[in-house]
Homo-oligomer: A and B are copies of this chain.
Amino acid sequence: MGPPPAPTGLPPEFALIARHFLPLAGEGALALSDDAALLAPPPGRHLVLAADAMVEGVHYLPDDPPDTVGRKLLRVNLSDLAAMGAEPLAYLMTTAIPRGTPAAWLEGFAAGLAEDQRRFGLHVLGGDTVAIPGPACLSLTILGTVPPGAALRRAGARPGDDLWVSGTIGDGALGLAVLQGRLPPGADPGGHLAGRYRLPEPRLALGVALRGLARAAMDVSDGLVQDLGHLCRAGGLAATLDLAALPLSPPAAALVAADPSWLPRLATGGDDYELLFAAAPDDRARVEALSRATGTAVTPIGRFTEGAPAVTVLGRDGGRITPAQGGWSHF
């Protein structure tokens, strides 16, 4: 007889993966049970690929609801696809999480991913789950597709082009301030600002609609002024940003009305995940029609000009101002 066969039971991470992540897997994932995923590229399309990581306590707060952490991880990556005019296809994800992470946290995290997968039409292809003796570190690689030659790029703005932005600016940074107690809870009566910090809205429909119309585009994630600087450098031209034109949500507008010094801070705060793009002045009506068609507000907030790459920021009175910083820096 001898002893029984050696245990082939699986270690706990396999149960974790099977319970929480396997339901997220789709075509090509091979049920997450091979060494890699296998994907037939969609015919006649080019692939668009981006990877963004989120660290607990840096990109999200330890007590953020886990479903919004999962959704934000997916959405910040979807926002990169939107900026390229791409449509979502699939993603891979690595999660480095502390031992002892409650199953309820993972359940919420996966439920948030599941909800947004359905909403945005993509699925998990693969990934890795490991333990980390420190803050959770979540990394996602997203795949999207575009017709060949149709991707939006950062280079391409021309002097005289209008500068447009989608949605509203500054809500994410204000939401973080509320959640960190740097603003009183009364500053965010309906929780709109906190919601915008936790759950950005990737402007995918607008990105697709802007193919062939926007001459340059990117997503605003690290602060409007700093990110506009990227468009200037990529295109080899300057830009003027008119803060008086900045689209603000009602709570953001109320804060600025009470203390105008908020305005430049909103333009440098980060966590907006809105599309910033250039279009010819002759195309203003077309841009506005696409805005209506996609249900996405857009606002002209400045203009590109001849000159060395630089951003001129005009305050509410039309005078030049110099924000203390251009945007977010990790280091």
Name A residues whose Cβ lies closer than 8 Å to a Cβ of B: 2-13, 16, 28, 30, 33-41, 46-55, 57-59, 80-81, 83-84, 86, 92-94, 96, 99, 125-135, 137, 139, 141-144, 146, 148, 151, 153-154, 218-219, 222, 225-226, 228-230, 232-234, 238, 309-313, 319-323, 325-331
Contact = CB atoms under 8 A, between A and B. Distances in A.
A3 B329 contact: no
Nearest to A310: B5
B39 A8 contact: no
Contacts of A46: 38-41
Given A131-B331, A133-B135, A39 B33 contact: no
A312 B47 CA distance: 45
A132 B134 CA distance: 9
Given A11-B331, A36-B80, A133-B135, A94 B125 contact: no
Contact of A6 (B127, B154, B319, B323): B323
Nearest to A145: B41
Given A52-B94, A137-B139, 17 more contacts: A6-B326, A10-B229, A11-B328, A12-B330, A34-B154, A34-B218, A36-B86, A38-B46, A38-B146, A39-B49, A40-B47, A41-B41, A51-B128, A51-B141, A54-B130, A58-B131, A139-B139
Given A49-B125, A84-B34, A128-B51, A327 B11 contact: yes
Contacts of A313: 5-6
A134 to B, nearest CB: 2
Contacts of A34: 83-84, 153-154, 218, 234
Contact of A51 (B6, B93, B132): B93
Given A11-B330, A319-B2, A323-B6, A36 B50 contact: yes
B52 A83 contact: no
Contacts of A312: 5-6
Contacts of A148: 40
A153 B30 contact: yes
Contacts of A228: 8
A11 B13 CA distance: 38
Nearest to A41: B41
A123 to B, nearest CB: 13
Nearest to A326: B7
A116 B120 CA distance: 36
A125 B13 CA distance: 29
A58 B80 CA distance: 31
A322 to B, nearest CB: 5
Contacts of A40: 46-47, 148
Contact of A5 (B130, B144, B320): B320
B132 A9 contact: no
A59 B9 contact: no
A230 B33 contact: yes
Given A38-B151, A49-B37, A311-B5, A130 B55 contact: yes
